[in-house]
Amino acid sequence: METLVEFFSFKYINIGYVVFGTVLLSISSSIVGCFTFVKKKSLVGDVVSHAILPGICIAFIISDSKDPFFLIVGAFITGWTSILVMDAITRNTKIKEDAATGLALSVFFGVGILLMTHIQHSGNANQSGLDTFLFGKAAALIGEDLVAFSIIAIIVLLIVFLFFKEFKLISFDPNFAKAIGLPIKKMEILLTSVTVLAVVTGVQAVGVVLMAAMLITPAAAARFWTNQLSKMILLAALFGAFSGVSGAFISYSAPSMPTGPWMVMILSIIAIISFFFAPKKGILIRQLRRVAIRRQLLEENLLKTFYRIGENSTNYFNKVNENDLGLIRNFSPKQLTNGLKKLKKNGYINKALSQWYLTNDGYEKGKRITRLHRLWELYLTEYLRIAPDHVHEDADTIEHVITPELESRLEKLLDYPTTDPHSSAIPK
Amino acid sequence: MANHTIIPAENPALEVHDLTVSYEKKPVLWGIDFTIPKGALCGIIGPNGAGKSTLIKAIMKLVDINSGYVKIFNKELDSIRKQVSYVPQRESVDWDFPASVIDVALMGRYSRLGLFKKPRKADKDAAMKALEMVGMDMFSKRQISQLSGGQQQRVFLARALVQEAEIYLLDEPFAGVDAATEKSIVEILKNLASQGKTIIAVHHDLQSVENYFDWVLLLNLRLVSCGPISEVFTPSLLEEAYGGKLTLLSEVGDLVKKGEFKAREKQ
C-alpha cells in the first residue's frame, strides 16, 4: 500500500515521466491497433515492428548518434518499406499474403540483427544502449527521448481523431469510399503512416518482439465488449492506459521486473477476462446460457410427461411417482431429483407423500408444450411432406423454441387443427 | 455482326466509349460502347464471368481501364461524383465489422460532409429517412452482423439513397435476398426512375428482366446489345449472349495474360 501511495504521489519526478510516457505510447498503439484489427491486417504490426530495426541501425551508422529524431526517421522509413514490399510481393507474384508477411518480417529483421551485430563489434563507444530497441526500455524513458516519442504519440492520436470517419469507411468498405470520391490512396497512406509511427513509438516501451501484442491485444479484448467502433477504440485506449500504469507500477515496486513485458502481461489478462466474462460474447455467459437452456428443456419435458400421464388417465391432477414418469420418458435419476425440485420451487408441481401432482400453472404449461409439439408435427407432415413417423424427434426440440407469436401463426396456417398426424388431440 | 442491336440513347445519362478492361492482366471487357438515357431503369444481363460487375466497377473507376472513357451527363466522373451513387456487392464487405445499421447508412453522407466534420442531426435524419424507405428504420441500432442477407442489401440501398444522387449503379442488388426484399427493392428503383433518376443494375434472373427493367444491356465479354427492352431483349440476342459462341475471345484473353501483353500497346 505504501508503495502504491508513493508511486502515485510521483515523489520522484522520473516516475511521473515513465508513467506519462508508457500511458501515452500504449494508448496510441491501442487505438491504431483497432484499425489494423478490423481491417484483418493484425500481422502488419508484427512485420513493421521487426522491420524498424534495420532503420534504426542505418540511422545510427549514418548519423553516428542516438538522437531520437534520426532514429525515428530511420525506423519510419524501413517500417514503411516493409509494408510496400509485402504489397509488391502479393501483387506481382503468386505468393499469398501470409507467406509475404513472413518473408518481409524475417528478411527485414535479419538485416536488422546483422547491422546491430556489426555496430556492436565496431568498437563505437556511442553504441551502448542501442540494443534496448530489441526489448524496450520503458523504465528509462526520460529526457529528450520522452519528449520526442510523446510528440509522435500525440500526433498519432490527433490524426486518428480528425480522420476517424474516413478511417472507419476505408476499413469497412474501401470500394464505396473510392466511389464517393474519398481520396482513398491518401487516406490509406495516412493510416499506414500512423500505424508505423505508433509501432515506432510503442517499440520504445515493449521492444520489437512484444509490439504486435501492444497493437492487437487491446483491440481484440475491446471487441468482446462492444459492437461500435468508436466505443471499441475508447475501450482499447483504456485497456492500454491501464496496462501502462500497471506496468510502470510493477516495475517500480519490484525493480527486477521489466515494465514492457508486464504491460503485455496485463493486457493479456484483460483479454482473457474479456474472452470469458464479456456479456453476450464471453464464453462464461454463453456457457451459462447453455446451462439455462438445458434446465428449461428438462423442466418442460417433465411437465409434458405429467400432462401425458394425465391424458392417459383423464385426470390431469393425479398423483404421480417417479417410476410413472420414467415409463413415459427416459430421465436419469439425477435429472428427476433436480428437475422435480426445481418445478416445485417454481410452483408448477406439488408434493404429497413422495408423490407429485401438477398445480394449475403446471397443467397449463404442460398442455402448451404438448400442443406446440403436436402443432409442429402437423406442420412438418403437411408443409414439408415428412412422414408422420419421422416428425417426433424434430418436434421434441422445436416445441421449446416456438414463441407465442409463432404459435398463433402456426395455428392459423394449419387452420386451427384439432388432431396431430398420430391422431392425438391437440389441446386448446 | 450487325451493329443495330446497340441503340443509341438521346439525352444520355451515361456514355461508355470503347472501354477495354483487364482483370489480373486478362482482358475481360472488349471495346464496350453504349449509351443509356436519363431516367432509364437498365439491367445489365449476362452469364457468369461476362464482366458485368467489372463494367460497373470500370464506370466507377474502381478498376483501371486499358482504353476508352466513361462520361456521366457528359462529364468526367470526378467532376460529378456527388450525383453518382454506387451499391457494391453485398459480399464485398465484412459484416462482422463493429458498426450499426445507422452507421452504415450515414456513410452515404460522408462525401457531403467533407473532411473533419462529424455527422450532425440533419445527417442522421436523412439516414433515418432512407432507412425508412427500405423498411429498416426499426433496426437502426442493430449490429450489422445480426442482419439477414436481404436486410444487409436494404441497408446498402439506404446508404445509396442517402446520397440523393441522379444516377445509381447497383452491383447484384438481388443476389441472395428474400422475395419480399427483392420486391420492395424493385419498387424503390422503379420509383426513383419515375422521378427521372437513372438506374443501372447488374441482374441475373432472366425470368424477371421484363418486369423489372425498361432498358437492357446484354453482355458477354463484349457488348451483345443495349437498348429498350422491346428491341434488344430477344431470343436470338439472348442466345448470342448466353450461347458461349465466343470461346475464342476468352482463349485469346488467356494468351494475353500468359504472355503478359498489354491489352493496348500504348497506354
Residues B33-50 pLDDT 10s? 999 999 999 999 998 888
Size of interface A-B (CB pairs under 8 A): 77
User: Contacts from A311-320 at CB under 8 Å and sequence distance 24+?
Assistant: A311/A370, A316/A358, A316/A363, A316/A366, A317/A357, A317/A358, A317/A363, A318/A357, A319/A352, A319/A355, A319/A356, A319/A357, A320/A355, A320/A356, A320/A357
> For residues A91 and A105, what is the distance between their CA atoms, to the nearest angstrom?
17
SS3 labels along B23-65:
ECCEEEEEEEEEEEECCCEEEEECCCCCCHHHHHHHHCCCCCC
SS3 content of chain B, % helix, strand, coil (to 5): 40, 25, 35
Q: What is the mean pLDDT of residues A278-287?
A: 84
Maximum Cα interatomic distance, chain A, rounded to a whole number of Å = 100
Query: pLDDT category, A248, cuts 50, 70, 90?
Result: confident
> For residues A345 and A348, what is the distance between their CA atoms, to the nearest angstrom?
8
Q: Which of A172, A178, A186, A187 to mutate to test the interface with B (most CBs of B within 10 A)?
A: A172
Chain-chain contact of B84 with A179 (C-beta, under 8 angstroms): yes
Residues of B in contact with A166 (CB under 8 A): 110, 115
**Per-chain mean pLDDT for chain A:** 89
Q: What is the mean pLDDT of residues A331-350?
A: 90
Beta strands in chain B (DSSP E): 12-23, 26-37, 41-45, 67-72, 84-87, 167-170, 198-203, 215-220, 222-228
Would you say residue A279 has pLDDT above 60?
yes
HSE-up (13 A, CA, CB side) for residue A51: 27
Query: What is the ipTM for the molecules in this complex?
Result: 0.89
pTM of the model: 0.83
Residues of B in contact with A165 (CB under 8 A): 110, 113, 117-119
Would you say residue B62 has pLDDT above 90?
yes
Chain-chain contact of A40 with B94 (C-beta, under 8 angstroms): yes
Residue of A nearest to B108 (CA): A180
Q: What is the mean pLDDT of residues A209-216?
A: 91
Q: What is the mean pLDDT of residues A200-227?
A: 90
pLDDT at B116: 82
Would you say residue B52 has pLDDT above 90?
yes
Residue of B nearest to A169 (CA): B107
Q: How far is CA B230 from the centre of its chain?
A: 22
pLDDT at A65: 82
> For residues B161 and B187, what is the distance between their CA atoms, to the nearest angstrom?
13
Give the cell for residue B149: 442477407
Residues of A in contact with B117 (CB under 8 A): 165
pLDDT at A69: 84
**How many beta carbons lie within 10 A of that of residue B129, not counting itself?**
14
Chain-chain contact of A165 with B88 (C-beta, under 8 angstroms): no
Chain-chain contact of B111 with A180 (C-beta, under 8 angstroms): yes
Chain-chain contact of B145 with A175 (C-beta, under 8 angstroms): no
Q: At what angle do helices A164-172 and A184-223 cross, to 10 degrees?
A: 80
Query: pLDDT category, B199, cuts 50, 70, 90?
Result: very high
Chain A interface includes B82 (CB < 8 A) = yes
Residues counted in chain B: 267
Would you say residue A207 has pLDDT above 50?
yes
When comparing pLDDT for B114 and B38, which is higher? B38
Q: Which of A227, A229, A232 to mutate to test the interface with B (most CBs of B within 10 A)?
A: A227
**How many beta carbons lie within 10 A of that of residue B247, not counting itself?**
8
Residue of B nearest to A173 (CA): B93
CA distances from B234 to B35, B79, B217, B220 (A): 19, 37, 12, 15
Chain A interface includes B107 (CB < 8 A) = yes
CB B22 within 8 A of CB B258: no
Nearest to A331 by CA among A343, A319, A323: A323
| β-strand pairing of B222-228 with B215-220 | antiparallel
Chain-chain contact of B98 with A223 (C-beta, under 8 angstroms): yes
CB B219 within 8 A of CB B241: yes
H/E run at residue A352: strand A349-352
Least confident of A67-81, A219-233, B233-247: B233-247
> For residues A425 and A165, what is the distance between their CA atoms, to the nearest angstrom?
60
Chain A interface includes B123 (CB < 8 A) = no
Separation in Å, CA of A165 to nearest CA in chain B: 7
Residues of B in contact with A178 (CB under 8 A): 60-62
Residues of A in contact with B102 (CB under 8 A): none
Residues counted in chain A: 428
pLDDT at B266: 59
SS3 content of chain A, % helix, strand, coil (to 5): 75, 5, 20
- Which residues on neighbouring strands pair with residue B45, listed in sequence order? B203, B218
Would you say residue A357 has pLDDT above 60?
yes
Chain A interface includes B142 (CB < 8 A) = no
Would you say residue B207 has pLDDT above 60?
yes
Select the residue of B86, B117, B118 nearest A179 (Cβ to Cβ).
B86
Query: pLDDT category, B1, cuts 50, 70, 90?
Result: very low
> For residues A103 and A28, what is the distance between their CA atoms, to the nearest angstrom?
27
Rg (CA), chain B: 19
Residue of B nearest to A165 (CA): B118
pLDDT at B247: 64
Task: Report which residue type is found at B6.
Answer: I
pLDDT at A317: 87
Give the cell for residue A398: 422445436
- Phi then psi dihedrals of residue B50, to 5 deg: -80, -15
> For residues A379 and A317, what is the distance between their CA atoms, to the nearest angstrom?
30
Give the cell for residue A140: 528509462
Residues of A in contact with B111 (CB under 8 A): 180-182
pLDDT at B135: 92
pLDDT at A139: 67
Alpha helices in A314-424 (DSSP H): 322-328, 333-345, 360-383, 392-398, 404-413
Residue of B nearest to A163 (CA): B116
Dump pLDDT digits (tens) for B163-185: 999 999 999 999 888 888 999 99
Q: How far is CA A11 from the centre of its chain?
A: 38
- Phi then psi dihedrals of residue B3, to 5 deg: -95, -5
Q: What's the CA angle centered on B237, arms B36 and B210, to 5 degrees?
A: 60
Would you say residue A82 has pLDDT above 70?
yes
Separation in Å, CA of A330 to nearest CA in chain B: 37
Residues of B in contact with A223 (CB under 8 A): 98
Least confident of A370-379, B33-42, B49-58, B236-245: B236-245
pLDDT at B160: 95
Chain A interface includes B80 (CB < 8 A) = no
% residues pLDDT > 70 (chain A): 98
Select the residue of A176, A182, A226 nearest B86 (Cβ to Cβ).
A176
